[in-house]
Structure 1
Amino acid sequence: MTWVAHARTLAREIIRPESRWHSALTEVPRHQFVVNWWEREGETWALRSGPADPPAWMATAYSDQTLVTRVGTSHADRARVGDVLPDGMPTSSSTLPSLLVRMYRHAMIGDNDQILVTTGSGYSTALACVRLGDNYVTSVDVDEHLVRTAQDRLGVLGLRPQLKVCDITGPLPGRYDRIMSTVSVRSVPASWLQALRPRGRLVTTIAGTGLILTADKTPDGGATGRIEWDRAGFMPARHGADYESPPADVWKQATETEGGQSYTSRYPLLYPPDAWDVMSMLELKIPGIEYHRHEDKGGLRTVWLLHPDGSWARADVADFLASPIVHEGGPRRLWTELEKIRNRLNREGVLPVYGARVAITPEGETTLTRGGWTATL
């Protein structure tokens, strides 16, 4: 089985050959880090096995797409055809290669920089090792299976970075010039600032948003930076086996009841994850919203917003040209807050999240500002 031609084609598609990341993309066999993966089939997940279909394995592994390797607590590596299929949200993946390169470039890594990265499948760790040398790379993940599996697969390639099992939002195992996280956080953990060396740089995304945050350490132990005009979304940092979800009764109310408030929206139906600036503004105001959507055979389209505090909203519309009927319940009016953001966008033509300045205290309090707008996480 030859993979080199596939890797070269992938590299050629996403980066120029004079980039120092180009050779890393051509030299790392991504398929060895994604042997099995989960793929959406309608409302369920299906297991895909690379060795069972080598041509499809090569085509998928060397495509510029994210491959889900864990759903809920179910690792694709441990699953077998015929097992009960997982039900839940993705909890680990192999990020699309072009985004990994973009995140590394935002980190502005020098040849002798010690860097901390997140493990996942191990593919991004391998890219960093080939680019810098494995003695400059530390890779961490909260999931012991992911760390051990990545360590074995890296070892087959002769790569031996430092790998540790740890919650990236807690104490870190060393000091670094760069921290590049492919899991998102609500605010920058104080432990990152403590682990960064003077003038060190961190790159991450804000949980639940499409916002890439870059910041450089300041002499007071905090950091300053900005929200990049580029955009990306990553899974939130996990602190255990799985994410918490809104209670089942919240979903039941959102599905079955008319709610405490009902009105006709002035705007077309929107699924917020399709509009990252809108979703990001809403997440900064009310963190932790979960989104769902569905279209039935009759063409009725529904979007749900759910929150762990019991707040929920449901919007339904059967005609693309009509305005949806909104139902809301719980302590906060989620769709009403969404409408306020859309009002602002309609009034001003742009939302202030991208390009915002970032100030981070030594304790990790993170504040975004642009013009007269501010948000503190």
Structure 2
Amino acid sequence: MKTGILLPRSTTHPLIAFNFMDGLHAYLKQHQITNEIECVSAFIGFGEKAAVIQEEAERLLMEQRVDLLVVFADYPLVNCLFPIVAALNKLLIVVNHGAKYPDRWTTVPNVIHHHLNNASNCWLTGKQAAAENKTVATVNSYYDGGYSITHALYTSFLEASGKIAYNFVGHQQKAQFSTQPLTSFLYSRPELDTLLAILSGELVPEFYDQLSRQYPDRKLKLYASPVLLEESSAEENLFSKETIEVSGFTTWFKELDNHENETFCRIFTEETNRVPNSFGVLGWDTGLILRTILEISGNKAIDGKRVAKDPALKKLQGAKGEMLLHEETGHYLSPAHYLHSNLADHSRKKHSLSMEEVEKSFNEMIQFKLEGISSQWLNTYLCS
């Protein structure tokens, strides 16, 4: 089974493609199917140009004669591939962190969506924050703020009767990033101790470092997006300030206690000498999807439209835990875990939500109608 894979580049996260492919190859090697699933890759830049994505996809389909496509890219740019895979009856697997809403939530023929549910986890985190706090300040960057995770986190908080007292949006470049406006506000409102935060990359340690120096004396509660949760616990980002408590829902974290995740973390570390990460787990579980497709199709040509609806793909057990293919949207959902930690400690799981609870919240989020003008970046989240 020849698989074409369209991969992104990133300046702030330069190992996105490497980690994804290392996770994928680790899975294929672990299950001894490397020779049965051939991977042919191409790069699509930051994933912000539809023409580049379409050209590379067509090259893989026409010149390399691939049986199916995997694209690590985001909405709305991936939409450009939907007509060609439908016309050729090929299968397309769209992979990303789940930080953007699609143009429409309804299923698309021949397309499966596999991601880390970032927006739906932010929706859950916003509701959790509102249940525990009445008023917050928000923290974002000019870059991170252009994605649907911001809408999901803030809207679910407001819908649950929370109130936002202050919005802080910092520069996307570390050299120009300053928390001074935020700390000035916090000093003016000593009773307010809660933040809703979405940051990534080099801004994560910079944010904690500046906050520690400018606002050293009081305990703060920070409700975080999944990427901020993961990167807050990275060894190079840790800052030993125990007065900041970080909480939030996420689909995956290294200490997730299921056999498949333990196997992924062990094999990924052995194969790469790097710490397991969310890009790698996306690759590993994409390997699981490809293996299932291989078993469905046997030695026959892949019927993309039929395979996308095959019952064997409905429910899988990956490193993220159960993967349920949501019938109305074609998006894989996984259990959500509520983490809580001080910065100096590893994240500790407080509780997990069942698939029924996750699906209920996801259905609530996708029914929310966007109104007015909305703005978002075209590039794939974290590909900056």
TM-score over 0.5 for the pair:
no
TM-score by length of 1: 0.30
TM-score by length of 2: 0.29
Structure number with higher strand proportion: 1
For CA contacts below 8 A with separation 6 or more, give which structure has more relative contact order.
2
Structure number with higher helix proportion: 2
